[in-house]
Structure 1
Amino acid sequence: MTTPESDRPVEESGAGESPATPPGRGRIRRSGCFKDLAAVASFGLLAFWVTARMWWNPQHGIRDNKTDMAQFEWMLAHGARVVTEFAYPFTSDRMNVPESVNLVANTSVLSVSLPMTPITLLFGTRSAFLVFLTLGMIATATSWYFLLSRVVVGTRGPAWLGATFCAYAPAMISHANAHPNIVAQYVVPLIIWRTLRLADPGRWLRNGLLLALVIVWQAFLNLEILLMTAIGVGVVIVALALGRPELRGRTRTFLAGLGVAAGASAVLLAYPLYVQFFGPGAYHGLSWVIRGYSTDLASFVAYARESVAGDARSASGLAKNPTEENSFFGWPLMIGVVALVWWLRRNIVVLALAGLGVLFAVFSLGREIRFDREGTGIPAPWALLEDLPVLHSVVPTRWALAITPIIGVLLAYGAARAQELATRYPARRSQIRFATVTVLAMALVPVLPTPLPTKRLEPTPEFVTSGAWRPYLAGGRSLVTLPLPDTEYADPLRWSAQTRLEMPIARGYFLGPDTRPGKDRIALFGAPPRATSSFIATVRRSGEVPPVTAQDRREAIEDLRYWRAGAVVLAPQPSAEALRQAMTALTGIEPVQTGGVWLWDVRPLTG
């Protein structure tokens, strides 16, 4: 592919024009720098547009996924605790007292939470979460722009188009609903870049070590994305080896560098992966329900709710929840991508990407093909793979998430080809540009992102912010909240995060093993249920207090002792009156109202 002179990356150092510099070369370099800065600025504007409501309203959080937002705030606080207190990074006893939580098997995001410690300590976990989310988008777009403009297509305009899609496509905006670790895919282009450099002659050791470092970086950000990246890069590399015989002479150097990368990353990740799969709190795959999260075939031509052409009503039922709209591209873009692949079918990379996209789409269908919200009864290929080690921990619908960067790269290739044609045929330049812009607008304008919907977060009770909890939790005790934290109520994680995890809590919102007989340590959201947690959950759902028996009271005291409870608190919420009556009946203790909560001092019961 021919690259226009004005868009070729300049690798020379220094500023200005030297006597040996060709006339105009300095202007070209300055023009290129300006384009790069403009591209990054546009990425920033888009990121702040998507998160605008949270920046504008400091008391607001993600509307559709408050629980995951609370969990990430807790993880950011854990990272700060690792830095400031040298806490063990891979598990924590600050949640799920008296057990611990396996953080490597959860979204611990240590590669972000550790360097973000100053922001977490200075501005709080809510601000740190927002910075993580916003900068993750900007960094992802910038990283893809670097790869596309310097390595893949070599021109800035098409690179900007592809990078923008990679970072702000509907699936990415969907996961911006409190999954910043999935939105922050800025390491993926670096992995691709360093993999391609493995074939450089004479640098197999250096390049292998650099690839290992970015692999480890991504491993502590999100392992699902790392797995998809590894499969994708592997398919493209094999396609290049088969389709471009001139590259085969570099095979030995490439394999040597790959061996170094595999060995070094295995050494660096050996202990964390051991903790993940065999350490305390390790689980054996996701539950059958979560592994049923699959992609509806109809969703590929539908619009996501956070797209210009989408809405909640049309998207409802085509995805499990607003955070998993991984495959919503719309008819125009799907037709455009098929036409683009046909147009560029002589490019082996384009064909490999197209095949990879089809593979990921098929995987995302899960164990049964669904169409327009209904099961078809037709088994999908994933049914043969879902029980395999490692794959049993993948949410099937997220394979469709990997289609987004594939389409982004294809868009960059297509725009670069159109740009080349416009340069080759100057008499038709205006027609080619008009046709290109028109087609792109028809495909992409409907999927442009809209600002994330937000909702005011319940304020943290003064009982927590003032430190009034400290006397009750002395001696290794924990705080029990009503209701206990789970997939629907994770505010206690936010409270604990705001105390820098000095306030340990019973139970929590995390992935842990189901240790009940016959459950085979399959992943469960939260700890296995206990009698009292189930009783409280029933009261919360119904808003009514069932008859409290002597057995209920004995089990409540036993559970409070198990949790090492020092105090039980109830913050204002729906069903609060029923919850207050239930805990009073279970403990025989009349609560006092203090610091914005109802408080039961249960130390006399728990010893």
Structure 2
Amino acid sequence: MFAHNDDPSLFIWWFAHAADVVASWFGQGSGKTKLLFTQLMNHPAGVNGAWNTSVVGIALPMVPITWLLGPVVAYNIAIMLAAPASALTAALLIRQFTTRGPAFLGGFAYGFSTYVVAQSAGHLNLAVAITPPLVVYGLIRLARARSRRRALAIGLGLGCLLGWQLYVSSELAAGLSIAGSVFCAVAAVVLAQRSDAVQRRAGLKRLLTGGAAAAATALLIGLPLFRTMLTAPGAPQQTIRPHGVWNNDVLDVVFPSRFTLLGGPDADPLPRVQAIDPAEVGAYLGFFWVVFAILTTVLLWRHRRLGPLVQITALTGLVMWMLSLGSPWFFAGREILAVGPYRLIEVLPVLGNVLPMRLAVYPTLAAAVLLAVGVHEAQRKRGRQSRLLALTQVTAAVIVIAISTGPVSARQVPIPEFYDSGYAEHLPAGSVVKTMPRPIALAAPDADVALVWQAVTGMHYRETGGYFIGSTDTSPIVFGAQRDTLDERLRAPIPSAPEERARAASETVAALRAQGIDFVVIGQDVAYLPFPADQIAAFVAEGAGSPVQNLDGVFLIDLRSG
């Protein structure tokens, strides 16, 4: 799979879950029919998928591929389409103002930006960044609508898009509401100076008509999601991530990070409050692109035709860049402003869960538009200012090279042969299984590979482990299944004295049986095991009074006989 961290294991699991649910609707599969709440992971408590990256909006269209080729292939196809799809939607937006060449350039700059490619290293829900340019495109079409009926139709289309986005990434949807508010406020101020009262009233009516239709449609589509969020168990009871950590540094915009051609895998990261997953660091534009955007803004600020576009784009991009710095602001890792503008958002319900780093998609889109508009205007004047055109083309080429992103690495997923077919013979359908290593909330390769093992079986069994956002009766926020008795016991060395070891093993297995666990499966030659696999298997087998079965890369112990 294409991945830097191990969050893709989670998306692969949700792809398999969606395929299983759809199959269950037709009398096949595991029999689970709910897309947004599941007990197939973190059994028996389950997981509230409305608060997690269940990517239903992508997983459902990919169901046929998941059925035919498996969830790993389906995930790889989806993640490889993220960048070109994002590029095409940005090009569609920019094409409203420029010829095809500049629109292609701007679309490429956005779709293959550091933000999109970095998120592609682990976060499918954020890498599919097609909604921001499409929403702006829809708002422009709405402003140009010649009738309220046309505005209503466009609003319904926007509502469907926003409703879909809720089921891909509710965080991106929440961030989009922030960016949309900024965009509309800036546009209202800029355009108010260029239209008379009659035009403003007509435009306001169209916006209200289309906006109301969009909001109502999105809310209607999102009702199942909101209902699950509010009523299903397992919802987090506090802010998901601590504030002040996932903030962009002021220098991120010009400092080459891991997923850039100039930085690469050996790039020294900027100092942070705490270590940040490189897949989150996506604000880089590069010196030349930033300078080009500034020059385009200055030179075209009062342009008769392009002036309003440049003003709205530049001001919206600037405000969103400031918000992406979070609160406080940092420069080269040092705090320079104790309370930033984002503090106003942090105190709001729901929106306070948006990580400011992830707002970098909006200044990136703004910079892409300014790049395309600047190149377009230079081309338009080629007859009179050929030198300017040549300089602009060279600058654009330098920008493309400077912002070029590094590749997302591909790695082999360690799947024991047991999960090719042998699992069906040894694990009855619907069995409750504890798999080791247990999934953990760690942005490192193979930390959650047990979820992939379950996914490739088509949800043949129920897993007690899990990697997710949720809560328990004692913890307002958790990021994975809680340690069970075996996990706790293995935090200390296995007793060497025979009587003590037998007693500890018996008590541990009794607790696992009380939890309803039927089998313990331990991967061989895998990472994140607290002790060698054979030692853990022998300890569990001693307590269960069952033999250890060595089956194609796993140890299996049957707990049912006790």
2:521 and 2:556 in contact (8 A); partners too: yes
Could you tell me which residue of structure 2 aligns to residue 412 of structure 1? 372
- The verdict on how the C-alpha distance between 1:357 and 1:511 changes in structure 2, with shifts beyond 3 A counting, is same
Runs of 4+ in structure 1 over 4 Å off: 288-291, 374-377, 544-553, 574-577
Cross-structure match for 1:104: 50
Instruction: Compute the RMSD of aligned alpha carbons.
Output: 2.6
**Which residue is equivalent to 1:490?**
448
Match status 1:464 vs 2:407 = no
Amino acid of the structure 2 residue aligned with 1:455: R
Query: Kindly tell me: are residues 585 and 471 of structure 1, through their superposed partners in 2, closer, same or farther at Cα, counting changes over 3 Å?
Result: closer
**Alignment match of 1:311 (pick from 251, 257, 264):** 264
Distance 1:566 1:574, change over 3 A: closer
Q: How high is the TM-score relative to the length of structure 2?
A: 0.86
Task: Label 1:575 to 1:99 Cα distance change in 2 as closer, same or farther (>3 A).
Answer: closer
Distance in 1 of aligned mates of 2:369 and 2:509: 57
Equivalent residues of 2:41, 2:462 under 8 A apart? yes
AA partner of residue 78 (structure 2): F
2:117 aligned residue = 173
Secondary structure of the corresponding residue to residue 137 of structure 1: helix
Structural mapping, 1:77-476, within 5 Å: 77-86=16-25, 87-149=33-95, 151=96, 153-199=97-143, 200=145, 201-203=147-149, 204-245=151-192, 246=195, 247-248=199-200, 249-289=202-242, 292-318=245-271, 320-346=276-302, 347-375=307-335, 378-422=338-382, 426-429=383-386, 431-458=387-414, 460-469=415-424, 471-474=426-429, 476=430
Deviations 1:284-326 (A, max 9, x none): 3444447622212222221122222112333424571121112
Cα distance change, pair 90–470 in 1 and its aligned pair in 2 (3 A): farther
Note the alpha carbon deviations across 1:529-583, whole angstroms, 9 max, x for none: 44433444x47xxxx6577775685355324532533333233224755344245
Counterpart of 1:562, as a letter, is Q
Conserved in 2, the CA contact under 8 Å of 1:295 and 1:318? no
Superposed displacement of residue 386, structure 1:
2.0
Q: Give the TM-score of the pair, scaled to structure 1.
A: 0.80
C-alpha distance in 2 between matches for 1:380 and 1:455: 39
CA distance in 2, matches of 1:575, 1:267: 44
Residues 86-108 of structure 1 show CA distances to partners (whole Å, capped at 9, x for unaligned) of 22111112111112111121111
C-alpha contact (below 8 Å) 2:439/2:449 kept by paired residues: yes
Q: Does the aligned pair in 1 maintain the 2:289–2:367 contact within 8 Å?
A: no
Q: Secondary structure at the match of 1:97?
A: coil
Residue 30 of structure 2 is matched in structure 1 by none
Name the counterpart of 1:503.
Answer: 461
Correspondences of 1:472-551 after superposition (within 5 Å) = 472-474=427-429, 476-488=430-442, 489-516=447-474, 519=475, 521-522=476-477, 524-536=478-490, 538=491, 545=494
Shift of 1:129: 0.9
How far is 1:591 from its partner?
2.2
Partner of 2:535: 581
Looking at structure 1, the residues matched to 398 and 98 of structure 2 have their Cα atoms a distance apart, in angstroms, of 25
The one-letter code matched in structure 2 to 1:462 is E
Partner SS, residue 103 of structure 2:
helix
Amino acid at match of 2:177: A
Residue of structure 1 equivalent to 2:2: 62
Q: Is the 8 A contact 2:37 2:46 kept in 1?
A: yes
C-alpha distance after superposition, 1:404-441 (max 9, x if no partner): 1121112122122222222xxx1432x12211012223
Q: Distance in 2 between matches of 1:173 and 1:343?
A: 31
1:127 deviates by: 1.1
Other structure's SS at 2:423 match: coil
Residues 291, 394 of structure 1: 8 Å contact kept: no
User: Is the CA contact 1:236–1:349 (under 8 Å) kept in the aligned structure 2?
Assistant: no
Q: SS at the partner of 2:51?
A: coil
Structure 1 residue 456 displacement after superposition: 2.5
The structural deviation recorded for 1:255 is: 0.6
Structure number with the higher helix fraction is 1
**Structure 1 unaligned spans of 5+:** 1-60
1:149-169 deviation digits (Å, cap 9, x = unpaired):
1x2x14111111111111001
- How far does residue 124 in structure 1 lie from its aligned partner after superposition? 1.4
Give distance in 2, aligned partners of 1:404 and 1:546: 57
CA distance in 2, matches of 1:225, 1:468: 38
* Local SS of the residue matching 2:455: helix
- Distance (Å, rounded) in 1 between the aligned partners of 2:480 and 2:163: 27
Q: Deviations over 1:490-545 (max 9, x none)?
A: 111111111111222112111112431xx4x23x2112344433444x47xxxx65
